[in-house]
Amino acid sequence: MAFTGYVFENSAAILPHLEQPRTGPTSLFCAELAKNLGCYVIAGYPECLNSQELDEISKSATASRPQVTESGTDIHQVGANSAALYGPDGVWVGGYRKTHLFKTDLTWAKAGGGFTTFNLPSPIRTMSLGICMDLNPQMSSEGPYELADYAISNKANVLVLLNAWLDSEQEPHEPNDWHTLNYWAARTRPLWTDGKGDLGSDEEDHKSDLETAASGDETIVVICNRSGEENGHTFAGTSAIFSMRRGSGRPKLLDIMERKDEGVRIWNIQV
């Protein structure tokens, strides 16, 4: 949610900032930038639900008891935490809705129906996309590794994450949030190990899919994370790019930004 910010108290607070896909300000910005630079551009935004979705939510709420978060705030779904992808010709390629919602999303957002992958021309080729908490639905570094497993099963050459990840508050005087960076690497473990023992209780269901990615296959992982502060929340920054190769035993950090960095980092990948 690059232009609106992320921390909204409730659905009423975010309502004026909801955008239509393709025609909203974030989409128009992505289209213009992509065309001007001749590249692919992805950005997150709060997507307005269509009238059919709102009607279904209204009927469901009428037929059931009101839902509330753990803090007692009413859940009133009015939008989705989404991303827009535009191509080098400035044309819409596709969109994605965050699948695993964080507590900040719960008061206003409707969850997406699952992760997504885009088949793009070389050199990007197959690109999977996730948003923040998609990397970490169970709040554990021990698995299951849903997004990483998904990227493997789809033979993703690139995995992009659009994050608003909070600062760990560990070693606050360090320019980088290494605790958070190491956690991201841990959550993508199947991309840099052989995958054995990392699949959770439904291992047999996914085993054949994951084995379609041979040992040595590389996935470039790009993590774009929010920096700075918003409504009393401090974000980790520390945007990074990794080369993760199956069976290598460790992720390879190619480049990293600092906790408070705001800017553009360019990295050339050999393919």
Question: Long-range CB contacts (< 8 A, 24+ apart) of 223-226?
Answer: 223/161, 223/163, 223/184, 224/160, 224/161, 224/162, 224/163, 225/163, 225/164, 225/165, 225/180, 226/6, 226/163, 226/164, 226/165
Percent over 70 (pLDDT), the chain: 85
User: Does residue 16 have a pLDDT over 70?
Assistant: yes
Return the minimum-mean-pLDDT range out of 70-74, 172-176, 205-209, 254-258: 205-209
Asked if pLDDT for residue 204 goes beyond 50, the answer is no
Residue 56's pLDDT is 85
With 70 as the cut, is the pLDDT of residue 74 above it?
no
Tell me: pLDDT of 196 over 90.
no
Alpha-carbon distance 100 to 226, whole Å? 18
Contact 245, 221 (CB under 8 A): no
Taking alpha carbons only, the member of 129, 101, 122, 117 closest to residue 42 is 129
Which residues, in sequence order, are CB contacts of 64 under 8 Å at separation 6+? none
Given pLDDT bands bounded at 50, 70 and 90, which one contains residue 209?
Answer: very low
Q: For the whole model, what pTM was predicted?
A: 0.86
Compute φ and ψ for 187, nearest 5 degrees.
-75, -10
Amino acid identity at 165: W
Q: Which of 247, 251, 250 is nearest to 214 (CA)?
A: 247
Amino acid 176: pLDDT: 97
Examine the pLDDT at 266 and tell me if it is beyond 50: yes
Mean pLDDT for the chain?
88
214 vs 36, higher pLDDT: 36
d(CA 116, CA 114): 7
